[in-house]
Amino acid sequence: GDVTRPELLDEFRCLASIYVVRGNNDGEWAAGIAKTLHFRIEGVEFFMTHNKKDVAWELGSTQVVIFGHTHSYFEKTIDGRLWLNPGSCGRRRFRMELTIAVLELDEDGWRAERVDIPDETPQRKEKDAPQKCGRRSIEAVLKRMEKGQTVSRIAEELKLEPAFVEEICRIKVTHPGVTAL
């Protein structure tokens, strides 16, 4: 949820299959998008909604509950069920950290990993100063990776934490059909 523009969904759909729920900041264009979804990936049952207060009372055999709305990363296993809010990777809001979650599924279940995105937003001195987001860093890392540069060289050139660069490269290699953008 909170995609805010249909063009963004079109961009994501060109890159991979996606599941989307309607957020409170999605306008009338999103009237046809469901508020909640049940789906299965690799035998794992998911329930997804934007606002945690909209989680169904009866989750049945759901193993992973994904929600958002607060823009704050949350990961906790309750009664054998993973509750996951990946945070926010778009424009910075409410002074919250920028994060995404990588969820790996296998025969043993799931493993969630928090990925922190460096905030490139300069401290604003003027109320209407433009903001940058972590997308540029991710694009720059991927471009250099495709040229065969090493993680340490990419991190040095872009003045990024090596762990962040390594994580972006790992996601690209292990999940070739998925993008963090």
Per-residue confidence in pLDDT tens, the chain, 181 aa: 777 777 877 777 777 778 888 888 888 888 888 898 899 888 889 999 988 888 877 899 899 999 988 888 899 998 889 999 888 877 666 667 888 888 888 777 788 888 888 866 554 444 443 333 367 788 888 888 888 888 888 888 888 888 788 878 777 776 666 554 4
CA-atom Rg of the chain in angstroms: 17
Residue 61 near residue 80, CB atoms below 8 Å: no
- Whole-angstrom distance, CA of residue 24 vs CA of residue 176: 31
Determine the pLDDT at residue 65. 92
Give the integer Cα–Cα distance in Å for 150 and 141: 10
Of 135, 62, 71, 61, the closest CA to residue 101 belongs to 71
Identify the helix (H) or strand (E) that includes residue 74. Answer: strand 74-78
pLDDT of residue 121: 56
pLDDT at 83: 92
Where do we find the tokens 């309750």?
78
CA distance 168 to 145: 9
Which pTM value belongs to this model?
0.62
